Amino acid sequence: MNKEVSGKVNIFWFRQDLRLEDNPALQAALKTKLPLIPLYIWDPEGEGEWLPGGASRWWLHRSLESLHLELVKRGSALVLQEGNSEKVFLEILSRYPVQGIYWNHRYEPLILNRDKKLKIKLESRGIRVESFHGSLLFPPDSVLKEEGTSYKVFTPFWKRCLRQTIHERTSGSPSLFPPVPSKAISLPLEKLKLNPAVAWDTGLKKTWQPGSLQALAQLERFLKEGLSRYPEARDRPDQEGTSRLSPYLHFGEISPLRIWNACRRAELTTSQPGIIRGSETFLRELGWREFGYHLLIHFPHTPQSPLREEFNRFPWRTDIRPLDAWQQGQTGYPIIDAGMRQLWQTGWMHNRVRMIVASFLVKDLLHSWQEGSKWFWEALVDADLANNTLGWQWAGGCGADAAPFFRIFNPILQGEKFDSLGTYVKTFCPELRELPTQYIHHPWLAPDPILKSAGITLGKNYPSPIIDHSLARTRALQSFAMIKK
């Protein structure tokens, strides 16, 4: 950093808010009219055991690259630093006459505690520190029952949310930034080593374009092509029925308020049939995201431990072969294998399929939900601690408003219901493409001549089922009965 800086400067600390539009902390920093250092700190140590996984780091590299280009267009630049966040700030303070530091909240327990301590230390040095809620519609500690306690059931939580006022913010993107102080030193993006050392990311490159501009474009596509049919199409992995906004939301390339306002405007201005119903259904899913953060704040132990304590006694299995088969998409159940391969190839999985593969791991294979959570954390571009935890505890029957453990998805019936023609399966399990539709979700029942005609040899180029679902279901219910005694 340059020591020869005259006059006060401000710092805006980018975190999971990698956008210029509808960014309350950034707007507050810009109002001061002082020179501004737009700062991003790559602090692996500060993330604790929840360092972003490989797919998330891939996304982060490209998001930072896109953000830097947006800043350059406006006369600024992104300043990259690496290391302990507190030490980075102290180094900057030793070289710059900093007046204020601005950031938007993060809500992961470790980060939340770190930020509170950091704010106290900075303020003790006479620095003005302002923090804002920019990644949620409702701060997670603001939605409480009448008696002041937290919710554990989604529907009353969401009803309470809808009774609150959603405050409007100036959502425009600033057209011009104050200059970055001269000679501010930024690390090259490659120095952060976010890209994979081995090039496994071909599928990610084909599937995604990170960045706030792409987030806005994706939202517009969804509003025009997907919102009206969302209630039915969202459960069909063989269709483009979901918004695919989750990674953009996680990295803050788009705000939930921007999405909320866009959907509400569509309700008022679009004559397309089904828009109102589609918007209400979609915004309810946005509500589940809010619920995940509500639970994370009030039950900070849940990323590692079940909310329902009796599940600490569950007799999980630890045999590695079934876990490996699940991770690699080699279980012999096509809808499971297609989902796990989609995850590995694209860094994303359709939400209906996430529920199916999670049920299979936890209930058919009796492997702990924590194992699934860890694998998703590494492989998802939208890996989010609050929502990853909520999803896996829901699937495992051990969290808030969770599916009962005895509700066990049948992967054959789920495939037949939601991928009736096998389109999704055949996309990610190409070895099954020639198999007739009536056998696509249970190839082991196909007669040998049919298998031979389709070029399939079970156990060689496509696996036989690693477990019988009906027997696995019985075993799961017996295991569940053990913890109820």
Give the pLDDT confidence score for residue 463 in this predicted structure. Answer: 98
Q: Which of 277, 298, 319 is the last residue of a domain?
A: 298
| Both structure tokens of 455 | 């070029």
Q: Which of the following is catalytic: 84, 195, 261, 351?
A: 351
Q: Is 312 one of the annotated active-site residues of the chain? A: no
Give the pLDDT confidence score for residue 1 in this predicted structure. Answer: 40
Q: Is 47 one of the annotated active-site residues of the chain? A: no
Could you list the residue range(s) of the whole structural domain that residue 228 is in? 136-172+212-298
Q: Is 392 one of the annotated active-site residues of the chain? A: yes
Q: The sheet that has 9-14: what strands, in order across it?
A: 79-82, 36-42, 9-14, 98-104, 128-132
Q: Which of the following is catalytic: 285, 378, 410, 444?
A: 285
Q: Are residues 111 and 122 in the same domain?
A: yes
Q: Which of the following is catalytic: 82, 288, 378, 444?
A: 288
Give the pLDDT confidence score for residue 2 in this predicted structure. Answer: 39
Q: Are residues 66 and 146 in the same domain?
A: no
The whole model's pTM is what? 0.96
Give the pLDDT confidence score for residue 169 in this predicted structure. Answer: 63
Q: Which of the following is catalytic: 50, 260, 316, 444?
A: 316
In a domain, 200, yes or no: no
In a domain, 177, yes or no: no
In a domain, 324, yes or no: yes
What's 155's domain CATH number? 1.25.40.80
Q: Are residues 252 and 387 in the same domain?
A: no
In a domain, 203, yes or no: no
Q: Which of the following is catalytic: 42, 103, 344, 369?
A: 369
Domains in the chain, number? 3
Give the pLDDT confidence score for residue 170 in this predicted structure. Answer: 57
Q: Are residues 323 and 340 in the same domain?
A: yes
Q: Is 288 one of the annotated active-site residues of the chain? A: yes
Q: Are residues 19 and 94 in the same domain?
A: yes
Query: Can you tell me the distance from the alpha carbon of 461 to that of 191, in angstroms, rounded to the nearest whole number?
Result: 41
Q: Are residues 331 and 354 in the same domain?
A: yes
Q: In sequence order, which residues have a C-beta less than 8 Å from that of residue 356 and are 6 or more positions away?
A: 335, 336, 339, 409, 411, 414, 415
Nearest to 415 by CA among 439, 387, 433: 439
Q: Are residues 115 and 35 in the same domain?
A: yes
Whether 215 contacts 253, CB under 8 Å: yes
| Both structure tokens of 120 | 């106290």
Q: Is 4 one of the annotated active-site residues of the chain? A: no
Q: Are residues 129 and 141 in the same domain?
A: no
Question: How many CB atoms sit inside 10 A of residue 262's CB?
Answer: 18
In a domain, 272, yes or no: yes
Q: Which of 74, 109, 135 is the last residue of a domain?
A: 135
In a domain, 185, yes or no: no
DSSP 94: H
Q: Are residues 124 and 148 in the same domain?
A: no
Q: Are residues 149 and 100 in the same domain?
A: no
Instruction: State the first-to-last Cα distance of the chain, in angstroms, to the nearest integer.
Output: 63
Q: Is 58 one of the annotated active-site residues of the chain? A: no
Tens digits of pLDDT across the chain (485 residues): 434 445 899 999 999 999 999 999 999 999 999 999 999 999 999 999 999 999 999 999 999 999 999 999 999 999 999 999 999 999 999 999 999 999 999 999 999 999 999 999 999 999 999 999 999 999 888 899 999 999 999 999 999 999 988 866 656 778 889 989 876 789 999 999 999 999 899 999 999 999 999 999 999 999 999 999 999 999 999 999 999 999 999 999 999 999 999 999 999 998 888 999 999 999 999 999 999 999 999 999 999 999 999 999 999 999 999 999 999 999 999 999 999 999 999 999 999 999 999 999 999 999 999 999 999 999 999 999 999 999 999 999 999 987 888 999 999 999 999 999 999 999 999 999 999 999 999 999 999 999 999 999 999 999 999 999 999 999 999 999 998 76
Q: Which of 114, 135, 156 is the last residue of a domain?
A: 135
What's 389's domain CATH number? 1.10.579.10
In a domain, 44, yes or no: yes
Q: Are residues 319 and 289 in the same domain?
A: no
